[in-house]
Structure 1
Amino acid sequence: MAYVLVPHLDPDHASLLTEILQRVTTMPVIEAQDQLVVEPDRVYVIAPNRDMAIFHGSLQLSVPNEPRGQRMPIDAFLRSLAEDRQESAVGVILSGTGTDGTLGLRAILGAGGLTLVQDPASARYDGMPSSAVRAGYATHVTAADKMPETLLTGARVLASPAVIPAEPKAESGMRRILMQLRSATGNDFSLYKKSTIGRRIQRRMSQHCIDDTEVYARYLRENPDEVHALFRELLINVTSFFRDTEAFSVLKSEILPQLCQDKPDDYVFRVWVAGCATGEESYSIAILLRELMDASHQNFKVQIYSTDLDEDAIAIARAGFYPPNITQDVTEERLRRFFTKEDSGYRIRKEIREMVVFAIQNVIKDPPFTKLDLLCCRNLMIYLEPELQNRLIPVFNFALRPGGVLFLSPSESIGNHTELFSSLNRKCKFYRARHDTSTAGGIVSTPPVIWSAASGGKAPEDVTRRSTATNLADMTQRVLLQFFAPAAVVTDLKGNTLFVHGETGKYLRPAPGQASLNVIEMAREGLELELRAAIHAAASEGVLTLNRQIQVKTNGGFSTVGLSVRPLPGPDRDKLLLVSFQDIAGPAAKPKRSRAAKPAELGRIQELEHDLAYLKESHQAAIEEQQATNEEIKSTNEELQSTNEELQSTNEELETSKEELQSVNEELITVNSELQRKIEQLASMQNDMKNLLDNINIGIVFLDQHLSIRSFTREAVRIYRLADSDVGRPLADIRPVVAGEDLLVAAQSVLDSLIPYECAMRIDGGTWMLARIQPYRTLENLIDGVVLTFTDITERIKAVANRDALMLAEGIVATLREPLVVLDGALQVITVSAAFYREFQVTPEETLGHKIYELGNHQWDIPALRSLLENILAEAKSFDAYVVEHDFPDIGHRRILLNARRIVGRIGEPQMILLSMEINPS
């Protein structure tokens, strides 16, 4: 397996996530790059400010088009993963805010892959996990530390063969599973593709740790809830708004304008969306038709029949409520125009919702809708075996009007049925229905779907005979309904139309004003009162109205109509009504002899006519008052709706701000973790730097461009009397210890010329310091001040001075012929002349490094000489021609004239005493 991480990163900062993850895994962790081929046992991390997809195993990176706070990078990648890897895709949702990732898991689940979601209770931020769990797109919900075991188990299932092995036991177990599905749900999956069915059954088996199909069949029999769970697993509910953008663009620009051209206002444009899932595709077509009618100023009626096997999916479609992630598929203009923003998503507006009717239907065995202008069946037949596909194509041809259009997915086609359809767009799979004599009987000769195990041991002739009988029965029922069943409508308890059968134009017509589908408001003159009373009686008391004869005004005259209103039987008997209309032929008028009416009769007739006219006027006035009241209520309702829309708009802005804040919060959390790591590194570096500066005993002062103090080390106080409060003050305000050295002038010169400066300074106590001034450079090589360093060089100065003095003394001594002794400050002999060795008969070993009083046998330990030398050292005096007479043990009595001088070094300390001698023998 390869691992791709798509966290919400701050687009303006580099990410340290790659480095952080590399510390806890031996697999290589790589920041994703464009066109990078994905390899197993590697971790790929999305780069900041990039959208990522996968195509043929290579990562595709692009710059996002959406603004911050509206991006859904996880949904985008998981969708591409589902399309690219199909059943080998695995989606994992971990802690995070918002709803990003929910639609991506839906795509992976529909492709047959595996979806894992962190248990919201264990997540630090439960927004994303909770959204995926509520939507029902998680095959496993578990804590993060439990996911590896689940992932490995699921990977073994994904890697296993997609088709159940052709063993008698395995085939028998599969057959038993399909039979239980048919018995429990009424739907037969035997002619679905074996690879798809086998993979999804195996996935359910792995969740229960079952390996044998026979065992799983028994488990289904003992656990009815698992049958329904498996049924939902086998249904393919993957769709999205305007799925396949190019195909919907062709539908809007080419197909629909041709189909809707020159349609009158009373025309009913009929669409069937087979396998509608949760309704996104149906609403997409409704939105396109609404946009087309607005652009062409047409106002015909649109009826979109959307059907699917999945009752749960139909319930979602009827609600018309979708998560915020649809912003990836729906433009901002369409969101504003056709959707209402609510707390946790978007709800389709009423004008679009009323165009679509949702129903549960099995397209394989249930009768199709007929007289369709457009039939949309996308990504349904790809899951069916070719035999079943060949049976459905003629059914679709029968359902379409002549010239109607069949809309398939890019992976589907009409197969060999070219005589039934002509191609309009091969790439986007649009086909026009042909209804000529050669294809008229196609639907009749097509056998219906027969469950593979139903025939058992029966002969093929029996199956064929029963197929033909069933087909004739269906055809007979359709013909009888078409020619003998009365025109009828199915309504709710308020009279709102839900389904129309037959031609109802003689009895119902669009009411003036705002469009309405209520049959009471649409009733023609003479029918409204009786229809209102009949619907009220059926809705409130369950009373049937059967064949009530009413005079209805049609085509300028009155005709007799039989009205019937029945509550529909079945589970929804209290919710639906069947209203039917049937023309009644009046008896032939027989000639009658005229008879003069009596005056009393004429008076009574006039009185009754007067009363009838009064009642009609009163009734009409009451109706007008009621209508006026209704108009006022409608007006008030419109004002409330307007206020509600304003509130919803405000709420939408707040929700958008909330989403942006959530996204920014996630980015801040990521940046904060990275900054925390940097802070720790900086703290460690600062500790190292502090210990380094404290131990090198160098005074350092950092100055900015205005020669103000940035910081300093403790050794710098030997030159400037600095305190911690001086940081930020100009260095010119601090008086240096050394007078005469203008370091500020030198610092300004270095700042201007960038040429380093160096000088030696002597401070109090005889200490020498080396001052250096250099430019302060940033990591970007910018000059941002200067650095002053002060190094103690006293010992070095002393060493140099001693070396120079010694060399000088040795040079002088070597040139003299008289005895000469060079002493240091402690009266130790540094060097002597050769004449001294010769005259006093001593060796260098006995002389050099010894005090003068210790030379020989202490022969120079003369009190007078000691007093003179110590005075010279202490009082800086010299003496000349001082006479010393002394008896030397080895050479005898001598009279010596001494001359002494003190030589002072550069560092101000006595360094040498030169003692010259003139020797007289007597």
Structure 2
Amino acid sequence: MGERESEQFEAVLQYLKEARGFDFTGYKRTSLARRVRRRMGQVGVADFPDYVDLLQVSSDEFDALFNTILINVTGFFRDPDAWAYLAEEVVPALLAERGPEDPVRVWSAGCASGQEAYSLAMLLADALGPDRFRQRVKIYATDVDEEALAQARQASYAAAEVEGVDEDRLHRYFEQQGQRHVFRKDLRRSVIFGRNDLVQDAPISRIDLLVCRNTLMYFNAETQSMVLNRFHFALAPRGLLFLGKAEMLLSHSRIFDPVDLKRRVFRRTPGNAAGLGGIGAQPVPVERVGEVGGLGELREHAFSASPVAQVVVTGEDIVALVNQQAEALFGLSPRDIGKPLRDLEVSYRPVELRGYVEQAKVDRRAIRIKDVQWTRAPGDPVWFEIHVNPLVHTDNGLLGVTIVFHDVTAARKLLDDLEHANRQLESAYEELQSTNEELETTNEELQSTVEELETTNEELQSTNEELETMNEELQSTNDELQAINDTLRERSAELDEVNDFMAAILSSVQAGIVVVDADLRVLVWNRGIEDLWGLRQDEAVGAHLLNLDIGLPVGELRSAVRTALSGEVEGGTLRIEAINRRGRGTTVRVVVSPLRAPAGGTNGAIIVMEAVGEG
């Protein structure tokens, strides 16, 4: 890029930092510019100022650009040989160095969509068992990409994404949900996801194993150095760093020692080069320009006035020098000079010194004793860091040993306060994570309830449609019934007309007419028969013919009626002597005919009576 184009590109990076808080200034410019140009080509923008304008008007473009820059290439157990070494050598050694109840803190920096963090969880669960894993292990998984972190928290992966997991682990650590595999929820609670920018944000502290694979290679040398110093601060003593194949740390050997260079596993050194070098080295002869008088007295006063408590013993462990701070702190006096160190209380309190003194003399190297606590009644406890340094002559002859007591109480208190604050922060973070998971669960339940309500609504809609259909059918049936009813009403009217017509005919006929059914019960009793016998219609209809109390000897009709009912003949004509309604004797001509049914057969008989003369 030219100078002008380079300035325009830096303006893009500055805008990203101000607008979204992403600081890409530590990334390698060539690869970073190549990825930004790739995104510009996808949206059809030619130069950097126009792309800044696009970012200002389109918030979605930020996410697309970050996804292009932050290439989240990851997978379960990526580089199987390195992960196998981690499982077989590194993790067992790490656990062996700690007590059975000690917590294990792991940091997956640049975790992307979570496969690396869950790979670590499976390794540690294999080594400890699920129950001990839940009790002891905390895995902090961080990234700058919020979208990738959201996917990681879901812990849901397609079949192609879990190809690196063997069948046994897939069965033990994942649950099948449709076409996806979801990491076990009880173990997932030990994996804490959060946003962390390795360049800007403070590192997590007291980490036993820090995994940052193929992330440093995107930074320039200066940013790499800064991030590695933060990693050194984050790791606990003897903490381990696991990098990717593209990262070597050859220029940072002063703060990390290689454990296995091929697999990119390194161990944190106890301190930096400036803090550890030169303590036990042989002094370099210095050419003096001139002599200074009174050096012996000057050295004696300088040693005595030193603000740090010091005791010097000879090669035979005889106390040679004690300064004022040591006298005040441990109750020593000039009378103790010349005594063997073993005869003084300071030799075993606050710590057993004689073994360290002997080791310093034999090894000809400095020894540092950390975290030494001493309680001086009735005051508060005091913390020391004791340095035991051999005093070696130019010909490597041993002159003696100096014992320096550094009071680190204030620093220790600060560390304790920091540790307490970190624990509180961790607890708050875990509570926040738990609350977030509960909210996610509640959201899922609400979503499920909404879906159920939608299903119920659809079912009610379907039921309503069915009821409308049934209502239409009922309405149609009602219309049909109404039509039938109208037809019946018309037929009834017609029948009434027929009945009235028949009644008129029966009333108009002068002869008496009786119609009986097959059981000889009277069906018709016309006006002519009423006049003949004096018995009203309502008294006769329904009665048995043979039970009628009239002047006609009805018993004589039985044979003729039976014959008509049989249908064998048309009945017959009889002349019967009877008594009419006036009490006079009369001769009655009786004609009996069968009542034919439309379909054939006989339903009853028709009896016609007519008076033919009075006696």
**TM-score between the two structures when normalised by the length of structure 1:** 0.31
State the structure with more CA Rg: 2
**TM-score between the two structures when normalised by the length of structure 2:** 0.46
Q: Which has the higher helix share?
A: 2
